[in-house]
């Protein structure tokens, strides 16, 4: 099988393209950052001089050298642009959220399967050190049987985003589709699909026109998982897991995004490595005695997603994030909005 670099094009060079995608594509020998659709302001060539800047999506889709397209445009456009890319015979990675509705997700999955194309969603937070550490603690059963879990993605943001599409009250916009997509994906990876969901979705900042706070309760047989995010948390929480053998408390960290936003490249042995002050605390029964201690964090690296994607395209192995998994995230989001509307538990 060919091991040649995958020529890849972005659909925008805003924060997502500049911070979360281009750096990984540019440093990996497995990829070649080939082009980017830039509608008005041309910026990408200042960072990557050899990259083609297309004036239209039609020009990008017509470029036979492009194998992979990353759809990193506003949420409401994900379905339309992904469908066009698949119809043009391109593999596709979609920035989260997958799409606005589960029906849109299903249609895109069917198109990709019928055309033998790889379709994945960039749930990069599976490769964060905090999540990987929580996952490892649960895998080792250090807490016994888990009875309660909380996953937070808290921020303190008093102003609105400069991106108008993030503040316009249309379907697919707001904190639940944005940060909620990450947390729901993590919860489903850790605990599987729940049987029901209850949601409280609000707008807590007077200046905001979209939801900027939510709390979801995911119902399992003997477990409750709470997922929370807010724009007004000066003391943010992270992961809080309780079991019948103890608890694990892990602060939320964002070291990769912060480093990328500063212009650092995802290279070096220490990339994605947490400082000791960010390690989580385990208080659990070990060998018959309760012990409270810090747990060293595992190293995170979004490069692992791109490495897995390369092998899926070149070698036919399973995708690092299956579209069916990402579709379940959207199904939970839709259920949450219905629960919030009716003020009732919504059975899945």
Q: For residue range 15-53, list pLDDT tens digits in order.
A: 999 999 999 999 999 999 999 999 989 999 999 999 999
Q: Which of 217, 226, 240, 236 is nearest to 143 (CA)?
A: 240
In Å, what is the CA distance from 138 to each residue of 88, 117, 187, 224? Answer: 42, 34, 12, 15
- Looking at residue 1, its pLDDT comes to 65
- In this structure, the answer to whether residues 168 and 290 fall within a common structural domain is yes
Establish if 237 belongs to a structural domain.
yes
Same domain, 104 and 142: no
pLDDT in tens, 300-323: 999 999 999 999 999 999 999 999
Percent of the chain surpassing pLDDT 70: 100
Closest by alpha carbon to 159, among 208, 230, 228? 208
Mean pLDDT, the chain, whole residue set: 96
Q: Do both 209 and 70 map to the same domain? A: no
User: Domain range spanning residue 216?
Assistant: 125-300+332-347
- Count up the domains in the chain and report the number: 2
The verdict on 159 and 70 lying in the same domain is: no
In this prediction, residue 134 carries a pLDDT of 98
**Same domain (yes/no): 188, 246:** yes
CB 245 within 8 A of CB 144: yes
**pLDDT value, residue 40:** 85
Helix (H) or strand (E) holding 169: none
Of 93, 122, 151, the residue that ends a domain is 122
Q: Give the per-residue pLDDT at 44.
A: 97
32 and 135 inside one domain: no
Q: Are 295 and 279 in contact (CB under 8 A)?
A: yes
Each residue's pLDDT tens digit, 137-173: 999 999 999 999 999 999 888 888 777 777 787 889 9
**Do 102 and 175 share a structural domain?**
no
Residue pair 212/205 in contact (Cβ under 8 Å)? The answer is: yes
Q: Decide: 229 and 153 in contact? Cβ < 8 Å.
A: yes
Question: Quick check: 186 pLDDT over 70?
Answer: yes
Q: Residue 117: what pLDDT? A: 98
Q: Is the pLDDT confidence value at 325 over 70?
A: yes
Domain ends where: 90, 122, 154?
A: 122
Q: Cβ-count burial of 236 within 10 angstroms (0-12 exposed, 13-18 middle, 19+ buried)?
A: middle
- 114 and 201 belong to one structural domain: no
Q: What is the mean pLDDT of residues 128-140?
A: 98
Q: What pLDDT, on a 0 to 100 scale, did the predictor assign at position 169?
A: 79
Q: CA-to-CA distance for 3 and 1, rounded, in angstroms?
A: 6
Dump the DSSP string for 319-344: -SS-HHHHHHHHHHHHHHHHHHHHTS
- Measured CA to CA, the distance from residue 90 to residue 328 in angstroms comes to 24
Cα separation, 197 vs 339, whole angstroms: 7
| 260-265: long-range contacts, CB 8 A cutoff, minimum separation 24 | 260/19, 260/20, 260/23, 261/15, 261/19, 265/23, 265/26, 265/27
């Amino acid at each position: 099988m060919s091991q040649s670099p995958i020529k890849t094009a972005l659909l925008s060079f805003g924060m997502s393209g500049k911070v979360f995608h281009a750096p990984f594509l540019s440093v990996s020998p497995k990829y070649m950052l080939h082009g980017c659709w830039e509608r008005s302001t041309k910026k990408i060539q200042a960072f990557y001089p050899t990259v083609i800047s297309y004036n239209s999506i039609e020009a990008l889709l017509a470029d036979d050298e492009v194998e992979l397209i990353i759809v990193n445009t506003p949420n409401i456009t994900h379905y339309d642009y992904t469908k066009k890319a698949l119809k043009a015979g391109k593999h596709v990675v979609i920035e989260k959220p997958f799409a606005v509705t589960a029906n849109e997700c299903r249609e895109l999955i069917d198109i990709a399967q019928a055309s033998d194309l790889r379709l994945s969603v960039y749930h990069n937070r599976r490769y964060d050190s905090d999540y990987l550490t929580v996952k490892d603690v649960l895998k080792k059963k250090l807490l016994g049987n888990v009875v309660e879990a909380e996953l937070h993605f808290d921020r303190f943001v008093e102003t609105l985003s400069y991106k108008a599409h993030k503040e316009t009250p249309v379907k697919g916009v707001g904190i639940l589709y944005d940060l909620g997509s990450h947390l729901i994906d993590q919860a489903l990876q850790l605990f599987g699909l729940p049987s029901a969901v209850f949601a409280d979705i609000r707008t807590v900042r007077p200046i905001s026109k979209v939801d900027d706070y939510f709390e979801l309760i995911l119902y399992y047989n003997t477990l409750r998982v709470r997922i929370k995010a807010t724009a007004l948390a000066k003391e943010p929480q992270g992961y809080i897991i309780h079991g019948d053998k103890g608890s694990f408390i892990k602060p939320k960290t964002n070291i990769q995004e912060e480093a990328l936003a500063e212009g650092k490249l995802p290279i070096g042995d220490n990339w994605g490595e947490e400082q000791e002050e960010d390690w989580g605390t385990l208080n659990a029964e070990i060998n018959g005695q309760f012990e409270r201690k810090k747990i060293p964090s595992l190293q995170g690296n979004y490069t692992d997603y791109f490495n897995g994607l390369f092998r899926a395209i070149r070698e036919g192995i399973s995708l690092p994030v299956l579209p069916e998994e990402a579709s379940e995230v959207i199904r939970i989001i839709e259920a949450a909005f219905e629960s919030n509307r009716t003020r009732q538990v919504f059975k899945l």
